Amino acid sequence: MALLVQKYGGTSVGSIERIKAVADKIIGYRKQGHDLVVVVSAMSGETNRLTALAREIDPEIRGRELDVLLTTGEQVTIALLATALKMQGQDAISYTGGQVRILTDDAHNKARIKSIDAENIRQDLAVGRVVVVAGFQGVDEKGNITTLGRGGSDTTGVALAAALKADECQIFTDVDGVYTTDPRVVAEARRLDKITFEEMLEMASLGSKVLQIRAVEFAGKYEVPLRVLSSFEEGEGTLITSDMNEGDDVEQAVISGIAFNRDEAQLTINGVPDTPGVAFQILGPISDANIEVDMILQNIGADGTTDFTFTVHRNDYDTALKILQNTASELGAREASGNNKIVKISIVGVGMRSHAGIASKMFEILAREGINMIMISTSEIKISVVVEEKYLELGVRALHDGFDLEGDENE
C-alpha cells in the first residue's frame, strides 16, 4: 500500500500494443493495493516527427511555438493510456502539464519547475483513479506552454513524487537497472540493487545514460527514492537512494561502477606564459563558440610557463583546435595540439571517501595492462583517466575485474 509515481519512456509507449501492456502493468500494481500516478513521454519517434515538420518551416526553430508543437506528443499518449486503463475497468484520468498545474519559469525549451499543485491529483487518487500525467511539459505564470527539454519526463516524475511525497519514483525504461558498467563491454557486468544519488550522478554524467542528470539531482535534493526498472521484463531494478542501510554498507564494494565516455577529444596548449587570467584567455574563446568543456588540467611547466589541457566533445574538436591555435599565437605559447582518439574511463564509489589507495590501485591495474594515462582527474567519489581510444575495452574490463565488481550480488 504505497503511493508510487511511475514514468514510462517513449519506447515503453511506442505502439498501441505497448500502451496496452503498460496498462496491464499498472493494473498489476493497483491489484497490489498501490496508488499510482503515471508520467508518460511521447510515443517513440513522435517528437522527431514533429520537429522535422517544424524544421521544414524554420530549420532553427526554438522558443514558444516549438513548445506548443512538441507538447502534443505527450498529450496523445496520456489520452491513449487513460483510455486503455478505462477499457480494462480501471478508472483513470489524464492531465497535461498545464492542467496539473506544473508551474515553470518562462525559459521555453528548457524550463525549470517552480511548483506543482498536487491537489487535483490527491482527490483523484482518493477515489481510486490512476492519474496519467504528460511528462516534459508545464506552463508558465502567464499560461504559456513550456517544456523541460529532452528527457524532461524523468524530471516530471521526480517532481511529482516530491510534491506528492510519494514512497518511490519508478522510472521504467528499456534497461533493467543500473549496471557496474556497460554489459556490451564487460559481459560480467552486474546490475546494482542500490546506488547512492551521488554515485548515480557521477555515473550519469560520465556517459551511463540510464537517467537524466537533472532528474537524479532533483531526486537527491528532495530525497525521493528513485528506482530504475525494465518496462519489458520483471525484476526489482536498481534503487537510487541516500539511505544505504547498515547491512548494505558492510557488504558494499568500495567501487560501485565503472563509467566511460567515447565521445571525448583532448586539446593541449604548451608553454603558455604563467600569468593570472591565462585560463580565462584560453577557455573564453572556446566558450564563446558554444563549446562545452569537460575536464580541465593545468600543470606548471618549465621556465615560468604552464601547460594547459582540456577535453571537449569529439564533434567540437576541429573548431576547438582552430580556436586554440589562434589563442596560442596571441599568447605567444609554444604550441597548440590535440587528440580526438581518446576516451575517458572513470571509477565511481562513495566507498572511496573512507578507503585510501583506490587511485593507486586503479593506476596499477591499468599499468599492468600497459595502458598509458594521458590525463588524470579526481573528485571525492570518482577518479577519471583519459586514455587512448584503443584501450577502452581492455581498461574497463581490467578495472571491472580488478575491483571485483562481477560478484554475485543478484544471483
Q: Give yes or no for residue 75 binding its own copies (CB under 8 A).
A: yes
Q: Which residue among 3, 50, 296, 394 contacts its own copies (CB under 8 A)?
A: 50
Q: Whose Cβ is closer to its own copies: residue 94's or residue 306's?
A: 94
Q: Give yes or no for residue 116 binding its own copies (CB under 8 A).
A: no
Q: Restricting to residues 4-33, which ones interact with its own copies according to CB under 8 A?
A: 16, 19-20
DSSP letter string over 202-260? HHHHTT-TTS-HHHHHHHHHTT--EEEEESSS-S--EEEES---HHHHHH--S--EEEE
Q: Give yes or no for residue 78 binding its own copies (CB under 8 A).
A: yes
In whole angstroms, the minimum distance from the beta carbon of 214 to its own copies comes to 25
Q: Whose Cβ is closer to its own copies: residue 41's or residue 261's?
A: 41
What distances in angstroms separate CA 125 from CA 118, 128, 221, 226, one per listed residue? 11, 5, 25, 21
In whole angstroms, the minimum distance from the beta carbon of 212 to its own copies comes to 24
In whole angstroms, the minimum distance from the beta carbon of 122 to its own copies comes to 15
Q: Binding string to its own copies for residues 83 to 102, with x set by CB under 8 A, is what?
A: xx-xx-----xx-x-xx---
Helices (H), 58-126: 64-87, 97-100, 119-126
The answer to whether 161 touches 220, Cβ cutoff 8 Å, is: no
In whole angstroms, the minimum distance from the beta carbon of 100 to its own copies comes to 10
Q: Restricting to residues 55-74, which ones interact with its own copies according to CB under 8 A?
A: 56-58, 61, 64-66, 68-69, 71-72
Q: How far apart are CA 387 and CA 375, in angstroms?
A: 7
Q: Give yes or no for residue 127 binding its own copies (CB under 8 A).
A: no
What distances in angstroms separate CA 393 from CA 108, 154, 161, 371, one per listed residue? 40, 30, 38, 11
Sheet with 3-8, edge to edge strand ranges: 92-95, 130-134, 35-40, 3-8, 168-173, 226-230, 238-241, 194-196
Q: Which span sits near its own copies by CB under 8 A: 140-148, 244-252, 333-341, 387-395?
A: 140-148
Give the closest residue to 171 by CA, choosing from 159, 181, 184. 159
Q: Identity (one letter) of the amino acid at 208?
A: S
Q: How far apart are CA 137 and CA 117, in angstroms?
A: 14
In whole angstroms, the minimum distance from the beta carbon of 400 to its own copies comes to 44
Would you tell me which residues interact with its own copies (CB under 8 A)?
16, 19-20, 50, 53-54, 56-58, 61, 64-66, 68-69, 71-72, 75-76, 78-80, 82-84, 86-87, 93-94, 96, 98-99, 143-145
